[in-house]
């Protein structure tokens, strides 16, 4: 009997926590499906009986002003997708994986790992001006590569730290067996060790993609127009809903929010089990 | 020829001396066992031969070539690890094939060799399975196949039987010994299990704390252990050790052994050297129960361990405790008095300070 009570309590707590996390998404979805009248009604409507899709493709009309639509987000989506994919792939596979492997197997210093972890904790604002100056100097402002370079600066250390835990878990004897079988150090890394940390790589790829996708501060500073002339990303697009004749275009914002949330949600669902391992791995190691 | 010579090899980790001036000669095709407790340095020595660790000083020769600076690949050795170290993401075929692929053999050659070694080791039916899907015994045979598929000059095994359950271990011992003879490869086998060493080895080197205490074939090591460590380590149950003095007997002729509990006439056995403090050793199978009335030493039964074919009886002679082996079954009450007799010809004497065996006439 005792067991049943604790598991019920746990279930209730989990339900409450899930509600807290999921409610904002639900509210955004519901708002996206309401017309402006319903949005401003008080008390708030939690379960609308009438829904509309106009927020997704019709320019919103708030207090007489015209705002963007969800579908209008596509140029920004293109920028975000390209920048996020390239930055994530380069930082995770080209930089983080070899770095993590050599740190774990060759350099073997705990302090280096801790230093890298520390780097991921530094607030973005610290680097905004330096990054702007650097990117401007090399003439990459408002370009994909300008953003990609900046994004690699925070995705690479994070992925390195995450992968260090995974590489550490590989029993040394497997790599020694490969050594005796005649593989060169690079072959051991590429054919054996890298294959054995796939969950970690996927976790790193997904988490990095999401952080690139959601990144606002650096993008604001480094870009000023969307595809095809520039490289403005989705978070910037969403800010255009903020000031519309001294008010928020709630409906349009919600719709755009849902629309631009989709890639990351889909990724997250796909990589669910890898993410769980990836995050708890990080918590135990470090 | 693939003999292995270890010459004055010392290995230090920082200031810690793990192996101290080891000298060994392992003949071609020998089944050579490195036997010792944990921390004795036996695995380190194996890894030095493999090339996974660097030698601090000294040299190792394989097949006449000095291999100190050669990578494991160049040494052409093969190794089976305690946890088998199979590649978890590859199936059995790919595991065995990898060392051949690395040496750029053609796909056909690879297939032929993998098939033939799989037949020898009876693993043809699991070639498509992954290591996680097969049993411990099968994993071990895959590890053996991977090692042997490329005809290495030396075959190194690091406690490969410790992960098997007891029954499988006994079967694997016989299997390995036969396999080694069939393939005819120089084999160096590391273990802490003296039973494994005695049953499988053609020659054994006993290591203790980084030093070799004795090298010899199983019979030598069992019958004439040269020092007290080896005497206590080889053989199960362990040899009985009694501390006391050897001295000339009171009558003047012959010697005797004396301690607080026992006074034993040695009857013609003469240890070389002067009277001194020693450890006297005797194996359980050399102590007999005798009928009362015919001499012998009085003792009290402390414990009885029936094993079916044999019974181990632990007795107390004063403060000294001895184990004797009795063939067959016997009913004895704990606390009862019995008489025991020691086979004088099987006694071994060890100097207390040096630990070395005294020879006898």
Domains of chain A, CATH where assigned: 2-52 (no CATH), 72-279 (1.10.3720.10)
Q: Is B79 on the interface with A (CB under 8 A)?
A: yes
pLDDT, residue B87, reads 94
Q: Are B98 and A181 in contact (CB < 8 Å)?
A: yes
Answer with the residue of higher pLDDT: A26 or A248: A26
pLDDT in tens, B287-311: 999 877 767 888 999 999 999 999 9
CB contact under 8 A, B102 and A181: yes
Question: Any chain B CB within 8 A of the CB of A170?
Answer: no
CB distance from B302 to chain A under 8 Å?
Answer: no
Q: What is the pLDDT of residues B201-257, one digit of tens each?
A: 999 999 999 999 999 999 999 999 999 999 999 998 999 999 999 888 877 778 888
What's the rounded mean pLDDT across residues B331-352? 91
Rounded to a whole number of angstroms, the distance from the CA of B18 to the nearest CA of chain A is 20
Lowest mean pLDDT among A75-79, A282-286, B222-226, B255-259: A282-286
Measured in angstroms, the CA of A258 and the nearest CA of chain B are apart by 39
Give the pLDDT score at A267. Answer: 85
Yes or no: say if B35 and B42 are a contact pair by the CB < 8 Å rule: yes
Spatial distance between the Cα atoms of B202 and B193, rounded to a whole number of angstroms: 15
CA distance B27 to A122: 62
Per-residue confidence (pLDDT) for residue A94, from 0 to 100: 94
* Angle value at C-alpha B212, between B206 and B213, nearest 5 degrees: 70
Q: What is the largest CA-CA distance in chain A?
A: 75
Across A111-126, average pLDDT: 86
When CB atoms are compared, the residue of B72, B77, B87 closest to A174 is B87
> What is residue A283's predicted lDDT score, i.e. its pLDDT?
44
Tell me what pLDDT residue A59 has: 65
- The percent helix, strand, coil of chain B (3-state, each to 5) is 30, 35, 35
Whether the per-residue pLDDT at A284 is higher than 50: the answer is no
State whether A179 and B81 contact (CB < 8 Å).
no
| A169 close to B (CB below 8 A) | no
| Residues near A81 by beta carbon (within 8 Å), at least 6 away in sequence | A263
In Å, the largest CA–CA distance within chain B is 83
Q: What is the pTM of this model?
A: 0.81
Task: State which residue of chain A sits closest to B73, comparing Cα positions.
Answer: A182
In angstroms, the CA A70 to CA A198 distance is 35
DSSP type of residue B14: T
Helix spans in chain A (H): 2-32, 36-40, 54-57, 74-89, 97-102, 110-121, 125-137, 144-169, 172-181, 185-187, 194-196, 198-214, 217-222, 234-239, 250-270, 272-284
Does the pLDDT at position A263 exceed 90?
Answer: no
Contact yes or no for B229/B213 (Cβ under 8 A): yes
Would the CB atoms of A174 and B86 count as touching at under 8 Å? yes
Q: Strands B57-62 and B186-191, how do they pair? A: unpaired
Distance from CA of A183 to the nearest CA of B (A): 7
- Using CA atoms, how far residue B21 sits from A170, B16, B46, B64, in Å, is 34, 14, 15, 20
Q: Using CB atoms, which residue from B51, B73, B83 is nearest to A173?
A: B83
pLDDT tens-digit readout, B135-168: 988 999 999 999 999 889 999 999 999 888 888 8
């Amino acid at each position: 009997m005792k067991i049943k009570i604790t598991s019920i309590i746990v279930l209730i707590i989990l339900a409450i926590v899930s509600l807290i996390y999921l409610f904002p998404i639900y509210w955004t979805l519901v708002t996206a499906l309401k017309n402006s009248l319903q949005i401003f009604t008080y008390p708030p409507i939690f379960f609308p009986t009438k829904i509309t899709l106009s927020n997704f493709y019709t320019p919103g009309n708030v207090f007489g002003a015209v705002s963007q639509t969800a579908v209008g987000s596509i140029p920004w989506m293109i920028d975000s997708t390209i920048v996020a994919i390239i930055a994530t792939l380069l930082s995770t596979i080209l930089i983080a994986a070899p770095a993590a492997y050599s740190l774990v197997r060759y350099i073997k210093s705990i302090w280096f790992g801790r230093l890298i972890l520390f780097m991921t904790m530094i607030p973005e604002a610290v680097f905004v001006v330096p990054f702007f100056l650097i990117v401007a100097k090399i003439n990459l402002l408002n370009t994909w590569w300008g953003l990609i370079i900046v994004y690699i600066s925070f995705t690479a250390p994070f992925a390195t730290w995450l992968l260090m835990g995974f590489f550490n878990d590989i029993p040394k004897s497997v790599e020694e067996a490969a050594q005796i079988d005649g593989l060169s150090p690079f072959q051991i890394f590429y054919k054996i060790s890298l294959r054995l940390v796939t969950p970690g790589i996927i976790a790193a790829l997904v988490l990095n993609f999401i952080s690139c996708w959601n990144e606002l501060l650096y993008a604001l500073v480094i870009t000023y127009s969307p595809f095809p002339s520039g490289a403005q990303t989705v978070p910037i697009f969403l800010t255009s809903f903020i000031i519309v004749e001294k008010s928020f275009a709630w409906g349009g914002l919600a719709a755009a929010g849902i629309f631009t949330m989709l890639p990351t949600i889909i990724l997250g669902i796909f990589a669910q089990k890898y993410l769980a391992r990836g995050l708890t791995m990080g918590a135990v190691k470090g | 020829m693939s003999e292995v010579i270890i010459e004055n090899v010392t290995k230090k980790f920082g200031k810690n001396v793990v192996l101290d001036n080891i000298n060994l000669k392992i003949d071609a095709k020998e089944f050579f066992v490195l036997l010792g407790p944990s921390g004795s340095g036996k695995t380190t020595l194996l890894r030095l031969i493999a090339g996974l660790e660097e030698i601090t000083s000294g040299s190792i020769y394989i097949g006449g070539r000095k291999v100190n600076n050669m990578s494991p690949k160049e040494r052409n050795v093969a190794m089976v690890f305690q946890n088998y170290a199979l590649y978890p993401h590859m199936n059995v075929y790919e595991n065995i094939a990898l060392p051949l692929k690395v040496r750029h053999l053609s796909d056909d050659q690879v297939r032929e060799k993998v098939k033939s070694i799989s037949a020898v080791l009876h693993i043809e039916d699991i070639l498509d399975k992954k290591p996680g899907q097969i049993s411990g015994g099968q994993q071990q045979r895959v590890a053996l196949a991977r090692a042997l598929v490329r005809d290495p000059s030396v075959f190194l095994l690091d406690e490969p039987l410790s992960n098997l359950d007891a029954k499988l271990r006994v079967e694997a011992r016989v299997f390995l010994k036969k396999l080694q003879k069939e393939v005819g490869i120089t084999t160096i086998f590391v273990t802490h299990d003296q039973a494994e060493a005695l049953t499988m080895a053609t020659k054994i080197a006993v290591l203790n704390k980084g030093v070799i205490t004795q090298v010899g074939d199983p019979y030598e090591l069992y019958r004439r252990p040269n020092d007290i460590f080896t005497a206590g380590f080889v053989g199960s149950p362990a040899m009985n050790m009694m501390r006391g003095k050897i001295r000339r007997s009171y009558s003047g002729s012959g010697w005797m052994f004396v301690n607080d509990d026992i006074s034993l006439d040695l009857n013609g056995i003469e240890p070389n050297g002067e009277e001194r403090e020693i450890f006297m050793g005797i194996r359980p199978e050399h102590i007999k129960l005798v009928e009362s009335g015919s001499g012998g030493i009085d003792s009290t039964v402390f414990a009885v361990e029936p094993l079916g074919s044999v019974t181990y009886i632990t007795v107390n002679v004063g403060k000294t405790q001895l184990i004797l082996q009795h063939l067959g079954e016997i009913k004895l009450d704990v606390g009862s008095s019995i008489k025991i007799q020691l086979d004088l010809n099987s006694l071994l004497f060890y100097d207390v300070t040096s630990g070395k065996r005294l020879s006898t006439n």
